[in-house]
Structure 1
Amino acid sequence: MDFQNEIVKWYKINKRELPWRNTTDAYVIWLSEIILQQTRVEQGLPYFNKFLAHFPTVSSFAEATENQVLKLWQGLGYYSRGRNMLFTAKQVIENHDGIFPVQYEKLIQLKGIGEYTAAAISSFANNQAKAVLDGNVFRVLARYFGIGEPINSTVGKKVFSELAQSLIENQSPSLYNQAIMEFGALQCKPKSPPCNICPLQVNCYAYKNNKVNDLPLKLKKVKVKERWFNYFVGIHNGYVLTKQRKPGDVWQHLYDFPLIETDGKPDFEDESFIVSVKNTFGKNVRITPIIQKKHLLTHQIIYVQFFGLDNYIVNFNLHTDIKSVLLEEFEEFPHPKVISDFISLYLKN
């Protein structure tokens, strides 16, 4: 009980004032939780405010188009979260009479809502005794209790889940869950936590055994894949060449420029590369390198090269995935961040 009491006491003094903490509206809490997945609060807060302003209710969200949602989501990454949100909003309208559920058992059945999110919403909106387990909570529990099981292993998940659930018993679920998450975010930080002022210091296994930098343990990530994207920027009379990305790959359904992917950095003496360019943009096309970028995703490193196009011709009957649209229209489409950054730097000036 000392563990829970100290964390709650710390939280009441040190918590950040965040808009989703002042409501029990499950829809608003859901918005914040999905947006903040794998996103820092400082980065996610403006997105939360934008989404809530555009879609103040789950009904208004359900009426949105995918392009509207993805445009608002632009820059957050993990775009499947945005698409899942739209699907979930429609599920709530169709299956729950437009009322966002607050029970864990119903929440867990909605698309894009896993065990953590269902626990967070049900505890914050309904005070249901479901313990949250996010990266912050894993870290606090691993260090304080000295748990050596990897947090992403099957055994580790079971150990942490049972411990977390035992700790929330006889607590105010909403208060305790928010407290331990905030404690991990601000006090028991991943790197260089201020252990000298930590209220849990006396009984913390990691602190007493000099293991703060060793816990929690995590199984090694899968090998990162490297890819080379070569974008071709064709602009003529206020129109720009674009295409919508297909399902089954990164950035699905977002809009970018015509692309040729290569196995490595493009070589202008590589006949296959030049043939591919001419097959798409005509035998008299001229290309000019503009800028190179390195774009990091969770399991991929994408090396991006932008080329300017001159004297190009596109057979739209043959290359049906490429479209020519007004530049102003193109800017309103949802794009991957690497494309939106390019637009801001090179097409708006």
Structure 2
Amino acid sequence: MDVLEIDPKKIRNLRRNLLRWYKAHARELPWRAGPRGDKKPNPYHVMVSEAMLQQTQVATVIDYFNRFVAVFPTVASLAAADEQSVLNMWQGLGYYRRARHLHAAAKMVVDEFEGEVPREADELLKLPGVGPYSAGAIASIAYDQRAAIVDGNVIRILSRIFKITKPADETETKKRLWSIAEALVPAKDAGNYNQAMMELGAMICSPRGAGCLLCPVRNQCESLADDQMDVHDLPVMLPKKKPRAVTHQLIAVQRRDGKYLFVKRPAKGLWSNMFGLLSLEHDVKLSSEPDFNAIKKHLKTSVNLTAGETDHVKTFKHQTTHLTIHFELHVAQDGKGRAVCDGEIAWRRLDELDDLPLAKPQQKAVSLLRKFEAQLAV
């Protein structure tokens, strides 16, 4: 079906039913102004929430959002903050590039847009980390601009309603989905409409276990009307590449005073500019026993330390989009030398880490080190 062939009556019914359902059932969220217009949206809050909600569930984001805007209540306060403070407040949410982009976007809003989050999607696209989806979401939700959105929820809903059986991640199908989304979004109440689509995908039209009997647009759904089709078969996606298995050996260097060495990571790559235990990273999964000679050599070449006794603590796994990372945690007693490296370093006890931004695997490692210390103390 060509976009031009969509029945205007179907569009009107879909909009009406979806908005009516949303205004009756929308969840109360801290960044949401409310579907009935009882308060005005805060564009800065919308911008922060959209950054956090990328690849993260709403339930997880709520507490992070509340803490973040308590520390950085305005776009100006975020722009004025140092990156380490921003990363520290983001700690645990993952995908830290989002935090750096949000920080850079806040600076650009202050420097180039007089401290006001842009109203138009075209202007929002100039901000770091803001793509077509985020631009449409911010423009429509914050300012009720007529702008379309297409994310995972919308892809799923539109694929089912219009029975799109071609892979949704193919270029031509993506274009078609955007065209349909643009045709459906109304000129008035665009923000509520877009939020209704997201809400429908989260609450009713889910990937598995779609609640079709409760769906406000079930009468417009072509895949539901087809007795030969299961709505859960849509959307169709191209096969994903299997994540590559790699190994990161974490080396917890401990001084005689009980403090551990934490090193700031490089500005590029995984968990950039965050702190962590010294890491020896391999591009393949290691199948043999820990190579303590390689660990001691890495200590010497990377931070100029000669390690004493080295113990293996635990091996654990962390999954990213493209990598399955096997972390091997070791404790190395500090022998001789003074720690020196190209990046910033910090010696800390395990209960002195609140100001250091640590990624989830590093937080896991710290937790394991605490248990290791407790066992030694018995």
TM-score (norm 2): 0.85
1:273 to 294, 299, 316: 294
Paired residue for 1:228?
A: 247
- Aligned to 2:318, the other structure's residue is in SS state strand
- Which of 362, 371, 374 in structure 2 is aligned with 1:339? 362
Does residue 80 of structure 1 match 2:97? yes
Query: For structure 1, which segment, 128-137 or 215-224, has the greater mean C-alpha deviation from structure 2 after superposition?
Result: 215-224
Q: 1:175 to 1:274 in 2, by over 3 A?
A: closer
Q: Which moved more, 1:288-297 or 1:201-210?
A: 201-210
For residue 286 of structure 1, the aligned residue among 309, 333, 342 is: 309
Q: Which residue of 2 is the match for residue 212 of structure 1?
A: 231
Deviations 1:302-339 (A, max 9, x none): 1001111125334534x444735233554421011111
Work out whether 1:309 is the aligned partner of 2:332. Answer: yes
Q: Does 1:246 align with 2:269?
A: no
Q: Distance in 1 between matches of 2:98 and 2:230?
A: 35
- 1:323 matched to which residue of 2? 345
Q: 2:3 is matched with which residue?
A: none
Percentage identity across aligned positions? 32
Work out which of the residue numbers 153, 161, 165 in structure 2 matches 1:148. Answer: 165
Shift of 1:177: 1.1
Correspondence for 1:10: 21
* Secondary structure in 2 matching 1:20: coil
Secondary structure of 1:193 counterpart: coil
Aligned-pair Cα RMSD in Å: 2.3
Q: Which of 61, 64, 72 is residue 55 of structure 1 equivalent to?
A: 72
Tell me, yes or no, if structure 1 residue 107 matches structure 2 residue 107: no
Report the residue type matching 2:93 in the other structure.
L
Q: Is the 8 A contact 1:136 1:185 kept in 2?
A: yes
Q: Scaled by the length of structure 1, what TM-score is found?
A: 0.92
Q: In the TM superposition, what is the alpha-carbon distance from 1:274 to its structure 2 partner?
A: 5.7
State the Cα distance separating 1:284 from its structure 2 match: 6.1
In structure 2, what is the Cα distance between the partners aligned to 1:171 and 1:269?
A: 62
Look up the SS of the partner of 2:61 in the other structure. helix
Q: Which amino acid aligns with 1:252?
A: S
Aligned to 1:136: 153
SS in 2 for 1:301: strand
Q: Is the 8 A contact 1:267 1:273 kept in 2?
A: no
Distance in 2 (CA, whole Å) between partners of 1:77 and 1:190 is: 23
Q: How many correspondences in the alignment?
A: 348
Residue pair 2:246, 2:286 contacting (<8 A) in 1 also: no
Question: Residue 335 of structure 2: SS of its match in structure 1?
Answer: coil
What are structure 1's unaligned runs of at least 5 residues? none
Question: Which residue identity lines up with residue 285 of structure 2 in the other structure?
Answer: G
**1:196 counterpart residue number:** 213
Q: Which AA in structure 2 matches 1:8?
A: L
1:252 Cα deviation (Å)?
Answer: 0.7
The secondary structure found in structure 1 opposite 2:27 is: coil
- Report the residue type matching 1:256 in the other structure: G
1:244 deviates by 1.2
Query: CA–CA distance in 1 between the matches of 2:343 and 2:106?
Result: 30
Distance 1:106 1:162 in 2: 20
* Deviations, residues 42-94 of structure 1 (Å, cap 9, x unaligned): 00011110111011110000011110010111111110000011111110111
How far the C-alpha of 1:216 sits from its partner, in A, is 0.8
Report deviation, 1:5: 1.5
